[in-house]
Each structure stands twice: as structure tokens, then as C-alpha cells.
Amino acid sequence: EAQVTQNPRYLITVTGKKLTVTCSQNMNHEYMSWYRQDPGLGLRQIYYSMNVEVTDKGDVPEGYKVSRKEKRNFPLILESPSPNQTSLYFCASSLTSGSGDTQYFGPGTRLTVL
Amino acid sequence: GENVEQHPSTLSVQEGDSAVIKCTYSDSASNYFPWYKQELGKRPQLIIDIRSNVGEKKDQRIAVTLNKTAKHFSLHITETQPEDSAVYFCAASIAGSARQLTFGSGTQLTVLP
């Protein structure tokens, strides 16, 4: 089944404790990205990757890191999480970075930073 | 960069009535406008999209219209049903941009039985 997966789905952590949220897609998509969803703000892009070893900042990159060593995986790293990073995170992928490609979202990761 | 504004933030309609959600965008270079539906606790899923070379697109009870001159586009849902209750997001994409989609802030649609 073609899909985007994320792990973990739920995470409660404390300020400053490094964490990684994994994202994987099995559709051979070139483009992957991370969004955070906050009430009243919609979905805001954190980072994106056009292909392996090619990443760039989105609208809200501060406090996050990403890597794209393999085409199928795009982990999101929070080196030192803070309470303002409490949010719902979605990974997404699309066939290419071309305008108009449908984005497929993962199931989401609800992160709480105490 | 692109800015997308979406209204209203909440919308309640009676079952069977129509619902309209409106979005405006700022960058005239945008040429792709998808709409996503997000049910409670679920991921956003594409329900319909429109490109700048057409003014209207329909898919059963759902339609989207685009006015490039005014830089706004709208989602129309007719004969609403309880299962239409969800958060709807509009988005805009700038041609050739690797940053893909800029989303609106979302509309919580509630269809009352």
C-alpha cells in the first residue's frame, strides 16, 4: 500500500531532551517536507527536501533540523525542544517538487514539550 | 512570499444546505490551488484542486472557482451531509517554487443534522 508513515504518533518529552520524528514513504517520491499545525495558523512548512542530500528551510525552521540521506526517509530532529514546539507535526511527500503535484500526508505526530 | 487568507474560520450549516469557503492569495504568480479536508484526528487529504488556466472545476457535490484578477478562490459544497463536517484548508502554490504549498488557516465546517 502506498503510504507515508511517521513515528512516533504521540510523544511527551521535556525541555532540552533531543528527539527525532521519523518519516518514510514508499512511493519513490522525490519531494518531502515537514509541516507543523497549530490552531488558527493552518499548516506551516518547516523544512523541505527536493531530493537526496538536498534540503532547505521553509517558513518556520528555527529549532529544527532535517536530513535526507535516503530517498524514502526524511527525519525531523529537535536538538533541544522547547514548549513552543508543542504542536501537531505532519510529514508529506509528492512525486516531484513541481507545482501541482499532489502532496500525501503522513498520519501526524502529536508532540508535547513540558 | 505568498500569503493565503481564508474565511470564515468556522461555519455551521444545516444538512442539505450549501457551504462556501473563501480564500485570497497575494502572489499573482501562484497557479495551483488545492483544497484539503482534515477530519478530526486524521491527516489532511486532497479533495479538489484547480489550476490557473480554468475558472471552475466540479466533482459531484464539490466545486471550486477561481478569480485570477481578484486573486481569490472558493470552495462550494452543495447538499451538505454530516460527513462533510471537518476542517478545510485552501492552499496556493507558486509556479516553479520548490516550497510547494502555502496554506490558509483553515475553516471548521459543522453540518447540523
- By percentage, how much of chain A surpasses pLDDT 70? 97
pLDDT of the residue at A70: 96
Which site among A32, A35, A90, A99 would you substitute to test the B interface, given the most B Cβ atoms closer than 10 Å to its Cβ?
A99
Give A101's contacts in chain B (Cβ within 8 Å).
100
In chain B, which residues have pLDDT < 70? 95-100
pLDDT of the residue at A55: 94
Return the residue of A nearest to B43 by Cα.
A107
pLDDT of the residue at B99: 64
Between residues A111 and A58, which one has the greater pLDDT? A111
**Consecutive H or E run containing B36:** strand B30-38
Tell me the CB-side half-sphere exposure of residue B29, using CA atoms within 13 A: 11
How far, in Å, are A31, A36, A56, A88, B40 from residue A68 at the CA level? 10, 19, 11, 21, 30
Q: Residue B79 in 3-state DSSP?
A: coil
Would you call B98 and A48 a contact, using CB atoms and an 8 Å cutoff? yes
Question: Which of A41, A55, A82 is closest to B102 using CA atoms?
Answer: A41
Taking the C-alpha atoms of residue B39 and residue B53, their distance in angstroms, rounded to an integer, is 30
pLDDT at position A43 over 90: yes
Contact (CB, 8 A) for B86 and B38? yes
In the stretch 3-62 of chain A, residues with CB closer than 8 A to chain B read: 31, 33, 35, 40-45, 48, 50, 56, 58-59
Residue A99: pLDDT band (50, 70, 90) is low
CB-based contacts of A53, cutoff 8 Å, min separation 6: A68, A69
Taking the C-alpha atoms of residue B76 and residue B47, their distance in angstroms, rounded to an integer, is 12
pLDDT at position A53 over 80: yes
Average pLDDT for A45-66? 93
Handedness of CA A73, A74, A77, A83 (dihedral sign): negative
pLDDT of the residue at A2: 78
Q: Are strands B107-112 and B10-14 parallel, antiparallel or unpaired?
A: parallel
